[in-house]
Structure 1
Amino acid sequence: MSASLPEKEEEEANGPLRTKLPAKASKNDCGIWSVLKNCVGKDLSKVTMPIQFNEPISFLQRAAEHMEYADLLGNVELAQNPVDRIQHVAAFAVSALASNWNRLGKPFNPVIGETYELRRNDYKLICEQVSHHPPVSAFQADSPSFDFHGWVYPKLKLWGKSVEIHPKGVMKLHMKKFNESYTWKNINCTVHGIIGGKMWIEHHGTMELHCVQTGLTLSLHFKPAGWFNKELHVVEGFVTDSKKTKHRYVYGKWTETLRSCDMEAYEDYMKANAHKLRLGEPASDTSKRSPIMSPIPGKKIFAKFNSLSLGKSFSTSVDPNSGQDGDLSPGNDEEPPKLDGEIPEIPNSVTLWEVRARPDYSAEFYHFTLFAMSLNQVLPDMSSICPTDSRLRPDIRKMEEGDLDKAAEEKGIIEEKQRKFLKTNNQADYKPVWFDKVGDDWICNGKYWIDSNKPHIAHLF
């Protein structure tokens, strides 16, 4: 599988980026089911998990991973056609999910008032934990060409053999050159195989991107694995205008690539490949198809997006040494599915995004991407960042150094400080420092980058 690389190696504002963590991930011999078996139906954000199930990163830093493919926004700025622009925005939105594949560790819960800043060549980003219950993380990224902000409230629930993650919240992108604003919501995620076997992840549902100024919408359907796991990771949808006219077909996998083609190419492909609509299911059988959208313009019917069956002749993109080769039997949730096919490329398609290859040693470091490896690195001058920054958390620092016992001790100290703070301070009266609540949205007040005397909050680390 090919992987796109940035034209220049990005750097933190004050130094080169590291490419490994200080220590490899410790082996976890503790079964997750032994912890979760009494939590069925509960909100897992309120359940204290053993540190062995964490990865050495704060959820604020996970939120910052939305920016891993920020260079894609340069394609939005260069596109002169609004249809092209919204599909490049979609590439940026989908790319933010790619780092989730194989990332089975739980990020550290931020404490209220915790912050995280990130300065890169072309943008700067600030995150803040603005609420404890519910746990809400807000962020804003600024650059000369765009403003990107959003907030995330992750809800996790255990159902049977899987954990469902519903990342409530809204993402908003404003492109300054065209004065266009785009909005979308995060997609749902399910972690399978928590009772024995190997855990694996799938995203599913519909991500709808909308541009207020142009009236264009791009609805991307993330297909569930299904009984035979033949559509795992597949995503596809159409760019439509306010009259529901389809202009482009966008398709790919959130783990690999996103492409698009014009409607003529799409319809020609459908006619030539109608017999391949689904492996193991006749093309005429629509009884199991979900009501999403008709593949034929002008038809007021509902049918499942089904043009992109995974052909057995296509080579796999999965590392054969990764262990991701479980049973394909129907209903099996204890083993990850075997990925034995790739999305066929429709003639005249353009590639909007390709995933960057992770280093060969990624599995030894929590399956982090190179971008994630750099997020918690020690800066040359740590005094230049806010005292509430996630990099200064001793529990995360100790975990990435391989000292789990000390990390667990430090985590307990931080959580106890927060409990004492919340006991003596009503959360309803707590006012975040860098973000303001405006309706249902959280907006950065702009003070972070101009206030040289950044306050420390007593209950933090």
Structure 2
Amino acid sequence: MDSGVVIAPPLSLEGGLAGEHKTPNILQCVLSLFKNVQCGSDLTRFELPPLFNMPKSQLQCYGESVYCIAEDILSKCSNGKTNLERFVNVVAWSISHNRPVNFGATPFNPVLGETHHVSRGTLNVLLEQVSHHPPVSALHATDEKANVELVWCQSAIAKFHGASVEAVIHGKRQLKLLKFGEHYEMNAPSLLIRFFPVPGVDWVGNVRIKCKDTGLEADLCYKGNSFLGLGSSPRFVKGRIFYSSSMETIYDIEGHWDRIVTMKDVKSGEKMVLYNGKEAISKLETPVLKDPKVVLPTESAFVWGEVNQGMLNKNWEKAKAAKKSIEERERKLARERKSIGDSWVPKYFNLDYTKDGGWECTPKLERVPPAPIVVSP
């Protein structure tokens, strides 16, 4: 029996969704779509037809950056012999979250209460859309074997700037190496979609990684193509690892997140490879459904299954009708909750609004259980 679960290939450097899902005449379509949108407009409530989507939800994209990888960098973080070695691996792991995105293709904005649950070996990952307006996604992952826990709470807010759209990812990502009592916090770069003069998509902006328990920090700066696309170095990242107390630099970092990123010991001048993007995020395997009986009705690959199937078959009318049906159902549920004064409550996270205008998500589960969808380690 058909489970209704449709899982598209992951974002990957070679093969996978980034290489297969391309839309014809996309620049012309984009310009016509945004012709009545004012500069500085918040695009959170802006609805795209399936032609401009990739066949997966934003929840799946967040999850893939954790569970779809050819190299187990997360285990290296927990196996480091010194706090500096572990911190270096955490920096490499942070860089590995960046994945190629095609110009003109964006994931679906998850519906309220949508979930995504996938396992990779002993790593179990669970995500939930805990708010729709504004869009807030929460992630909880645990690996009992590696003694690792991840907690993310973030919101991507896209704004139109005339010649570009910038999706700024607010919130923080936390990595806990439990057996060492080390707690790492980091943010994420922004996604810049440029229309003129050279269309393209780049991860840009500053990322800070810090561990108060060890007094180590890292600053990373992501850069894309120049405005004219000349003399630029796309997918470039540069930064340093340093001591928080003295600001003394330990390693300088430089390279391309889709190729090789090196670090140089500032005292000895020795250079070494920090991260190899081509090995880590090339030809990634698509997750598979192992147990249809326990798939949640809120699972991303089920919620968007009919839309995904239409898009993968290039049946745009079917995809458009299925997407419209989902959106109308969500509006109806929102109106019903409003009419009776009911507030929606996340199932897997406690959600709090912080004083600085951000969001704080606390997992309700101590450990994430194994998932019905799995990806080979």
Counterpart of 2:166 (choices 149, 164, 167) is 164
In proportion to residue count, which structure has more strand?
2
Deviations 1:52-84 (A, max 9, x none): 010001111011122134711222222222222
Aligned positions of 1:21-40 closer than 5 A: 25=21, 27-29=23-25, 31-39=29-37, 40=39
Q: Which residue of 2 aligns with 1:387?
A: 297
Secondary structure of the 2:321 match is helix
The residue matched to 2:44 in structure 1 has which SS? helix
C-alpha distance in 2, partners of 1:389/1:103? Answer: 26
| 1:349 and 2:271 correspond | yes
Aligned-partner residue type, residue 254 of structure 2: Y
Structure 1 pair 104/183, CA: closer, same or farther in 2 (3 Å)? Answer: farther
Q: Report the AA paired with residue 443 of structure 1.
A: T
- State the SS of the aligned residue for 2:278: coil
Find the aligned partners of 1:230 and 1:448 in 2 and give their Cα distance. Answer: 45
Aligned residues: 339
- 1:431 alignment counterpart: 345
SS of match in other structure, 2:180? coil
Matched with 1:42 is 41
Match of 1:406 among 318, 322, 333: 318
1:130 aligns with 2:130: yes
CA apart distance, 1:200 = 1.2
Greater Rg over alpha carbons, structure: 1
The 5 A counterparts of 1:51-62 are: 51-62=50-61
Q: Which amino acid aligns with 1:233?
A: R
Q: Partners in 2 of 1:77 and 1:129 — Cα distance?
A: 28
**Residue in structure 2 matching 1:232, options 231, 234, 239:** 234
Match of 2:331 in 1: 419
1:189·1:202 contact (CA, 8 Å) conserved in 2?
yes
Q: Is the 8 A contact 2:138 2:361 kept in 1?
A: yes
| Matching residue of 1:248 | 251
| TM-score normalized by the length of structure 2 | 0.82
Structure 1 segment 304-383 matched on structure 2, within 5 A: 348-356=270-278, 370-371=283-284, 374-375=286-287, 377=288, 379-383=289-293
> Would the alpha carbon gap of residues 351 and 172 (structure 1) be closer, same or farther in structure 2, given more than 3 Å must change?
same
TM-aligned CA distance change 1:86 to 1:357, over 3 Å: closer
Aligned to 1:149: 151
1 CA distance for matches of 2:212 and 2:44? 34
- Inter-CA distance 78–350: structure 2 relative to 1 (3 Å threshold): farther
Taking only the aligned residue pairs, the percentage that are identical comes to: 25
For the pair 1:215 / 2:127, whether they are aligned, the reply is no
Moved more, 138-147 or 224-233: 224-233
| Inter-partner Cα distance in structure 1 for 2:127 and 2:272 | 34
**Residue 158 (structure 1) shift:** 1.4
- C-alpha displacement of 1:357: 5.8
CA contact (8 A) 2:30 2:104 kept: no
Taking a change above 3 Å as real, the CA distance of residues 430 and 451 of structure 1, as seen in their structure-2 partners, is farther
2:22 and 2:149 map into 1 onto residues whose CA distance is 38
Rounded to whole Å, the distance in 1 between the matches of 2:150 and 2:185 is 10
TM-score by length of 1: 0.68
Could you say what secondary structure the match of 1:414 adopts? Answer: helix
5+ residue gaps, structure 1: 1-16, 267-347, 359-367, 453-461
Q: Which moved more, 1:23-32 or 1:229-238?
A: 23-32
2:127–2:139: 8 Å Cα contact kept in structure 1? yes
Residues 409 and 136 (structure 1), Cα distance of their counterparts in 2 relative to 1, 3 Å cut: same
| Counterpart-to-counterpart distance in 1, 2:192 and 2:301 | 29
1:260 to 256, 263, 269: 263
Is the alpha carbon distance of 1:25 and 1:236 closer, same or farther for their aligned partners in structure 2, counting shifts above 3 Å?
closer
Shift in CA distance, 94/263, structure 1 to aligned 2, threshold 3 Å: same
Q: In the alignment, does 2:28 pair up with 1:106?
A: no
The answer on whether the counterparts of 1:166 and 1:187 sit within 8 Å (CA) in structure 2 is yes
- Offset of 1:450 from its aligned partner? 6.1
Distance 1:213 1:380, change over 3 A: closer
